Amino acid sequence: MEPIYTAEALATGAGRNGHVHSSDGRVDLDLAVPQSMGGSGDGANPEQLFAAGYAACFHSALQMVARGAGADLGESSVGARVSIGKAGEGFGLAVELEVVIPDLPHDEAQALADKAHQVCPYSNATRGNIDVTITVSED
């Protein structure tokens, strides 16, 4: 791979109960373990950051493949749910993506989502490593 852009971030403090900031200052967040995992929930967490990144990246890939197919996505959106749970001796992740393209027939929207899943960098990075489920909804 020949890099086009490189993001840089630094985590400090107590990991999931610490702080994270990017080298350009655009990301500057306190982190906290979610309440459901025994923490305070008083900050962002890595799963939220991953969900936001995956949703944005997948939506961009969807727009790219739609342009290539001459399709109009209209008021489309992509939502991401990232779950963390016990997996063997450690922890694992799972992702659910919900693609909404209200102005296209379901089969056409599904074909675009499937193609986006093949070109999205997050999808390529997670393929074979974690479960990713893609659901195409009409609203």
Residue 61: per-residue pLDDT: 98
- Regions of the chain where pLDDT drops below 50: none
Q: What is the pLDDT of residue 34?
A: 97
Q: Is the pTM of this model over 0.85?
A: yes
pLDDT for position 20: 98
pLDDT for residue 6: 97
Fold of 1-44: N-terminal domain of TfIIb (2.20.25)
pLDDT at residue number 139 = 72
pLDDT of residue 39: 96
What does the pLDDT look like over 18-44, one tens digit per residue?
999 999 999 999 999 999 999 999 999
Token pair for residue 32?
A: 């906290």
Which segments of the chain belong to CATH 2.20.25.10?
Answer: 1-44
Question: Domain 46-137 belongs to what topology?
Answer: GMP Synthetase; Chain A, domain 3 (3.30.300)
* Max Cα–Cα distance, the chain, nearest Å: 49
Quote the CA–CA distance of 35 and 50 in Å, as a whole number.
18
CATH 3.30.300.20 segments of the chain:
46-137
Residue partners of 129: CB distance under 8 A and separation at least 6: none
